[in-house]
A and B are shown apart, each in its own frame.
Chain A
Amino acid sequence: MKRDPIYGIMAEFDSAQALVDAARKTHEAGYKKIDAYSPFPVEGLAEEIGFHHDEVPLVVLIGGLIGGVTGYLMQYWMSAVDYPLNIGGKPPHSWPAFIVITFEMTILFAGISAVLGMLALNGLPMPYHPVFNVPRFAFASKDRFFLIVFSSDKKYNPVETRRFMEGLNPRSVSEVPS
């Protein structure tokens, strides 16, 4: 099947408020495959485009648990199982002494998994993306706000959708070539 030459239709707004309202309208209009771009995190925007569950916390929890367990078991195995030594008359398994490193390992693993989790779930790094083909999109990282309806959306129709978007009184509407 040949790919649609159009990746989506993008509308540009100049305030966060406008974007949020537009996003709400679009979503209510039944468009599901949409996305919004802003130069800073806009409260509630994600919800408006129908993004509800975020898995990052789960990833961090798992990472942290793995870290903690690894940390303690490592110390236990190394100093009590693999090569036990009499250190200053203390028993090989001196658990109070192992707490600090267990804690640090928990933090380390949790932190790393937080960052990697976020990147993975966001599908980053992704140096190229069709939206960059829109020249004005450069302002998405300054003071402009964008809303896009992807051509892969069921309800998508080049003409209809474009008209609908223009109805949201944006600054401009442009097609995003894929």
Chain B
Amino acid sequence: MNQDEFVQISKREEVCPGKKGKLDLDAVRAEIDKAAKHGPEYWRSLEELAGNPEFQDALKREFPKGASEWLDSVSRRGFLKVMGASLGLAGMTACVKLPNEPIVPYVRQPENVIPGRAMYYATAHTLGGYANPLLVESHLGRPTKIEGNDKHHGSLGGTDIFAQASILGMYDPDRSQSVVSMGDQRSYAAFLSAIRGPLSAQKALQGAGIRILTTTISSPTLADQLRALLKVYPQAKWHVYEPVNRDNVLEGAKMAFGQPVETRYDFAKADVIVSLDADFLYGGFPGNVRYIRDFASRRDPDLGQMNRLYVIESTPSATGAKADHRFPMRASEIERFAQALSSHLPINAPTGGVAGDNPGFSAAIVQDLLSHRGSSIVIAGDHQPASVHAFAHAVNQALGNVGKTVFYTDPVGANPVNQSESLKDLASDVQAGKVDLLIILGGNPAYDAPADVNFAEVLKGGKAQLRVHYGLYQDETAELCQWHVNATHELESWGDARAFDGTVSIIQPLIAPLYNAKSPIEFVSTLSGQPDASGYDLVRAYWQKQHTGADFEQFWRQSLHDGWIEGTTYQPKSVAAKNDHIGWKSTTDTAIELNIRRDPTIWDGQFSNNGWLQELPKPMSKLTWDNAVQIGPKMAERLHLASKDVVELELNGKKVEGAVWIQAGHPDNSITVTLGYGRRGAGRVGTGQGFNAYELRTSGTPWIASGVQIRKTGATYELASTQGMQSMDTPDGGHRPLVRETSLEEYKKEPGFAREEEVPQGLTLYPRYEYEKEQYAWGMAIDLNRCTGCNNCILACQSENNIAVVGKEQTLLGRHMHWLRVDAYYQGDRDNPKAFFQPVPCMHCENAPCEVVCPVGATSHSSEGLNDMVYNRCVGTRYCSNNCPYKVRRFNFLLFQDWDTAQYKMMRNPDVSVRSRGVMEKCSYCVQRINEHRIDAETASVREGKEIGIGEDLQSACQQSCPAEAIIFGNINDPNSKVSQWKAKARNYSLLGELNTRPRTTYLAEVRNPNPELES
């Protein structure tokens, strides 16, 4: 049989021309020989094969002698590249394959397919069940860029980082590419025949032995299918588990209303917002995209009344950074704080638990809330106990906010159960031997289940006779199941899902599945005996059932086109909070407390193989590629800990080791760790990064655990932060006014506070270049007041401009490639500093220092004021970067781009050239978009026979995806353009303007709205 394998390999190699020599075949053969004695399992996957050290050695032989030991980062990157190639070599479709059916090239071009012309399709991306309405840019059938669905009130054009990065997830070459059983690649048919027996057997038992474990599902079609399946097998059970679940929210709702309800907010109408540890302005929070827009719309001191945000939080977050008043507080004390507040608010909250003593500021908050009845919001964080949520509900009701700023609707999740409980039940059923057929529909419980449930052991136990895993990756769970069925990515499949407000979006595939795979809906229909039904038919059929009005076709096309289904938005329900039912459980507790949080970039670990998200700096610490043990400065001093010290955390017997990161503003006596790292089976990118915080997580205390022990190991571990220093104060005691800020009153007194005296024109020997003569002069304004540091722009830019991922080692050296970065600064008291965000793209200086020093003229100014970068001409002296005061230029120190992996070739934006080694690159103001619009405008002018200019519909990638509308790009020669109006504002200032660089990108200074009573 080894023989066959060889044949297979060589054949595959022939199938993939150009992949030859990328990996020396003999080495692989030798490897396979070595592995052969372990029997068939050696062929489970090349990744796994590659996982073993011998194989890596074989690959390292590909490198110039000593590459790895001389300079690790070089060889590591190269290693990744060769891996990419090797997968291709293994025939895992890394080279584009023709379908088996005879195909005919089109002679007449199908209408509305214009080569070089992108098309946009409405679809959605789900996270935790909540749909993110999207428009996806597609070039000749290849999705290349995610945009928000600007018509959909759940997005209004914005997206969050997870949606932006989903495109990379779709093209990830590590995705599972076939059905696998016991390590053998198998056909879907084989799976069908394997499952037919057990299913028919269960028929007799009414499916008593069937358990289906899904992640949070909001898809009406899928839910309907599952319910139908449960009708066929009445005894079967449907369990739901996701590590980052909203159990507390659910329980809080039950506590307050006796029923599960979804809470929806209208921040546009809220004058006072009190957040009890809720990070509602950051990606992943249901509705965050819309919430950021609404919140930001109230942060403009020049129009309307500014809102005021109080954040009481247990770990620094982007939301806390935007607060007018931020109060760090240990997570467990927040309940006591709430309890203390409750006595001052018109709610008759019961006693019980231990109320905290009133901190000085609570009175002011109470006052503010009471004086803003009906126009305030109290919002509790997902990880706060039910009682805090119940408290929030009670307050909102008492203040008459319900129906004005707060709304209650049916839950978005189709099966609102307590997920930890649900998983526990499943585990115990399995242990009790009640489960014959376990179907894990998505998710990765073997990795992310609570430590006390220890689902991996449960699966290993083999009590569940037939275990089927359906998912995107052959991950930790897949390894423990007899059958793994590879799933389609959402961008490849038909489906539907509900947004935070219940609005249903139809999920349209942008491309045929890259690897022969089934969508969840198709998979479930297989279980219910229709293996051949296509996702399209199923979804369409379901909605045909739902559709009452006439002309379904019209309705269907409309829904697909718009990206949502009319009339599916949940209507607010009137529910009464039985506020005397707040079950306080608060206790006084002085032990060190452990906050376990979802990771800001890789979430619960499902994105850990996504290079963009791995390298995306966490909003507050700017760390990449790792999670860290975050502690406050005080605590670090007390324990003599410095950043990068490795500590051992011990919580009821379980131990993990991680590196310390001292996080300014983190409450004392409390530790924050994030989930999603320390994966074994993530893939090339994610495996082995960081430490696994799930080890410390129990179903009892999923978010806030008390009594953790922290011990210094003496070792240190490099953490890759993309920011040099997070303060505007320099060690010599100086201060640099990079972000300029004032309070609302001060601003009213002196609106022009941010403007530094402009450098006089006459200082130069040379005449000024007259850009005014041109029709267009491109410029950008960034409103620091609106920016919530959600990092969206970074990924939008990365995706739009084919920006490479460089890996942790290179990031450590400071060689990350992001064209646009978001600097985070802290000012003042390290234990509770003010925090600022400042997105920094290229400033496109009119007197660009970079251009003057380039010896080959590889960077020069366009007549419209763009600081162009000519990659072909660049020889790479790096002089321009040295002379750039903003350090926005990025250099390809090595071959950072992956030129081999076919998937990435398909993913790239064809309008932007892919940079190679030794070339400088930087933000281009999305010149490709400018020119696209220019061409449109010109053709239009010709067609209409009159002059038509480029309109406001031209948006840079960062601007388009910004949920806060904090970035405005446009023509500053047009006094009516929005950017001109912004630049005309009093608080407009240019960064380092005193250098007379005359930047085209300017900032609107930050204005906060503190409570006068608390100012002193």
Give every chain B residue within 8 A of A89 (Cβ-Cβ). Answer: 766, 768-769, 846-848, 861, 998
Interface string of B840-856 (1 = CB under 8 A from A): 00000111111110100
Give every chain B residue within 8 A of A87 (Cβ-Cβ). Answer: 851-852, 854, 857, 860-861
- Of A87, A94, A96, the most chain B CB neighbours within 10 A belong to A87
Give every chain B residue within 8 A of A91 (Cβ-Cβ). Answer: 766-767, 769
Give Cα distance in the complex from A89 to B765, angstroms.
12
Q: Does B863 lie at the interface of the complex (its beta carbon under 8 Å from any beta carbon of A)?
A: yes
The answer on a CB contact under 8 Å between B769 and A86 is: yes
Give Cα distance in the complex from A142 to B189, angstroms.
101
Give every chain A residue within 8 A of B857 (Cβ-Cβ). Answer: 85, 87
Give every chain B residue within 8 A of A94 (Cβ-Cβ). Answer: 766
- Nearest opposing residue in chain B for A95, CB measure: B765
Interface residues of A in 77-93 (CB under 8 A from B): 85-91
The answer on a CB contact under 8 Å between A88 and B765 is: no
Interface string of B761-805 (1 = CB under 8 A from A): 000011111000000000000000000000000000000000000
Shortest beta-carbon distance from B694 to chain A in Å: 53
Shortest beta-carbon distance from B405 to chain A in Å: 50
Give Cα distance in the complex from A87 to B857, angstroms.
8
Interface residues of B in 862-884 (CB under 8 A from A): 862-863
- Of A86, A89, A90, A91, the most chain B CB neighbours within 10 A belong to A89
Interface string of B388-408 (1 = CB under 8 A from A): 000000000000000000000
The answer on a CB contact under 8 Å between B860 and A90 is: no
Assess A86 versus B863: contact at CB under 8 Å? Given A91-B766, A96-B765: yes
Give every chain B residue within 8 A of A85 (Cβ-Cβ). Answer: 857, 860-861
Give Cα distance in the complex from A46 to B559, angstroms.
105
- Nearest opposing residue in chain B for A86, CB measure: B861
The answer on a CB contact under 8 Å between A90 and B863 is: no
- Nearest opposing residue in chain B for A87, CB measure: B851
Shortest beta-carbon distance from B906 to chain A in Å: 36
- Nearest opposing residue in chain B for A85, CB measure: B860
Give every chain A residue within 8 A of B862 (Cβ-Cβ). Answer: 86
Give every chain B residue within 8 A of A88 (Cβ-Cβ). Answer: 845, 847-852, 861
Give every chain A residue within 8 A of B845 (Cβ-Cβ). Answer: 88
Give Cα distance in the complex from A89 to B759, angstroms.
15
- Nearest opposing residue in chain B for A94, CB measure: B766
Shortest beta-carbon distance from B575 to chain A in Å: 63
- Nearest opposing residue in chain A for B862, CB measure: A86
Shortest beta-carbon distance from B774 to chain A in Å: 11
Give Cα distance in the complex from A88 to B868, angstroms.
11
Shortest beta-carbon distance from B212 to chain A in Å: 64
* B interface residue count range (under 10 / 10 to 19 / 20 to 34 / 35 or more): 20 to 34
- Nearest opposing residue in chain B for A96, CB measure: B765
Interface residues of B in 454-511 (CB under 8 A from A): none
- Nearest opposing residue in chain A for B853, CB measure: A88
Give every chain B residue within 8 A of A96 (Cβ-Cβ). Answer: 765
Give every chain B residue within 8 A of A86 (Cβ-Cβ). Answer: 769, 860-863
Give Cα distance in the complex from A94 to B765, angstroms.
9
- Nearest opposing residue in chain A for B867, CB measure: A88
Interface residues of A in 85-113 (CB under 8 A from B): 85-91, 94, 96
Shortest beta-carbon distance from A93 to chain B in Å: 10
Shortest beta-carbon distance from B624 to chain A in Å: 33
Give every chain A residue within 8 A of B849 (Cβ-Cβ). Answer: 88
Give every chain A residue within 8 A of B852 (Cβ-Cβ). Answer: 87-88, 90
Give every chain A residue within 8 A of B847 (Cβ-Cβ). Answer: 88-89
Shortest beta-carbon distance from B628 to chain A in Å: 41
- Of B765, B766, B769, B850, the most chain A CB neighbours within 10 A belong to B766
Give every chain B residue within 8 A of A90 (Cβ-Cβ). Answer: 766, 852
Shortest beta-carbon distance from A174 to chain B in Å: 62
Give Cα distance in the complex from A89 to B996, angstroms.
12
- Nearest opposing residue in chain B for A90, CB measure: B766
Shortest beta-carbon distance from B161 to chain A in Å: 35
Give every chain A residue within 8 A of B848 (Cβ-Cβ). Answer: 88-89
Give Cα distance in the complex from A90 to B848, angstroms.
10
Give Cα distance in the complex from A162 to B92, angstroms.
101
Give Cα distance in the complex from A49 to B847, angstroms.
66
Interface residues of B in 589-636 (CB under 8 A from A): none
Shortest beta-carbon distance from B992 to chain A in Å: 15
Interface residues of A in 53-92 (CB under 8 A from B): 85-91
Interface residues of B in 267-319 (CB under 8 A from A): none
Give Cα distance in the complex from A151 to B848, angstroms.
74
- Nearest opposing residue in chain B for A97, CB measure: B852
Shortest beta-carbon distance from B861 to chain A in Å: 4
Give every chain A residue within 8 A of B850 (Cβ-Cβ). Answer: 88
Give Cα distance in the complex from A46 to B515, angstroms.
93
Give every chain A residue within 8 A of B851 (Cβ-Cβ). Answer: 87-88
Give every chain A residue within 8 A of B854 (Cβ-Cβ). Answer: 87
Interface string of A115-134 (1 = CB under 8 A from B): 00000000000000000000
Shortest beta-carbon distance from A145 to chain B in Å: 54
Give Cα distance in the complex from A88 to B860, angstroms.
7
Give every chain A residue within 8 A of B860 (Cβ-Cβ). Answer: 85-87
Interface string of B60-77 (1 = CB under 8 A from A): 000000000000000000
Shortest beta-carbon distance from A97 to chain B in Å: 8
Interface string of B908-936 (1 = CB under 8 A from A): 00000000000000000000000000000
- Of B851, B854, B863, the most chain A CB neighbours within 10 A belong to B851
Give Cα distance in the complex from A89 to B863, angstroms.
10
Give Cα distance in the complex from A138 to B767, angstroms.
68
- Nearest opposing residue in chain A for B767, CB measure: A91
Interface residues of B in 810-861 (CB under 8 A from A): 845-852, 854, 857, 860-861
Give Cα distance in the complex from A96 to B769, angstroms.
17
Give Cα distance in the complex from A2 to B621, angstroms.
99
Shortest beta-carbon distance from A71 to chain B in Å: 16
Give every chain A residue within 8 A of B863 (Cβ-Cβ). Answer: 86
Shortest beta-carbon distance from A47 to chain B in Å: 51
Shortest beta-carbon distance from B661 to chain A in Å: 40
Give Cα distance in the complex from A86 to B847, angstroms.
10
- Of A85, A86, A88, A90, the most chain B CB neighbours within 10 A belong to A88
Interface string of B356-384 (1 = CB under 8 A from A): 00000000000000000000000000000
Shortest beta-carbon distance from A86 to chain B in Å: 4
- Nearest opposing residue in chain B for A83, CB measure: B857
Shortest beta-carbon distance from A111 to chain B in Å: 24
Give Cα distance in the complex from A71 to B850, angstroms.
25
Give Cα distance in the complex from A87 to B846, angstroms.
9
Give Cα distance in the complex from A96 to B857, angstroms.
18
Interface residues of B in 979-1008 (CB under 8 A from A): 998
Give every chain A residue within 8 A of B767 (Cβ-Cβ). Answer: 91
Give every chain A residue within 8 A of B769 (Cβ-Cβ). Answer: 86, 89, 91
Give Cα distance in the complex from A86 to B849, angstroms.
12
Give Cα distance in the complex from A87 to B847, angstroms.
8
- Nearest opposing residue in chain A for B997, CB measure: A88
- Nearest opposing residue in chain A for B998, CB measure: A89
- Nearest opposing residue in chain B for A91, CB measure: B766
Give every chain A residue within 8 A of B861 (Cβ-Cβ). Answer: 85-89
Shortest beta-carbon distance from B691 to chain A in Å: 48
- Nearest opposing residue in chain B for A78, CB measure: B857
- Nearest opposing residue in chain A for B848, CB measure: A88
Give Cα distance in the complex from A88 to B862, angstroms.
10
Shortest beta-carbon distance from B764 to chain A in Å: 8
Give every chain A residue within 8 A of B846 (Cβ-Cβ). Answer: 89
Give Cα distance in the complex from A96 to B851, angstroms.
17
Given contacts A85-B860, A88-B861, A96-B765, 11 further A-B contacts (CB under 8 A): A86-B860, A86-B862, A87-B852, A87-B857, A87-B860, A88-B845, A88-B852, A89-B847, A89-B848, A89-B998, A91-B769
**Top 7 A-B pairs, shortest CB-CB distance:** A86-B861, A88-B851, A88-B852, A85-B860, A88-B848, A89-B847, A89-B769
A residues engaging B (CB < 8 A)? 85-91, 94, 96
List 15 A-B residue pairs with CB atoms under 8 Å apart, sorted by A's residue number. A85-B861, A86-B769, A86-B860, A86-B861, A86-B862, A87-B851, A88-B845, A88-B849, A88-B850, A88-B851, A88-B861, A89-B846, A90-B852, A91-B766, A91-B769
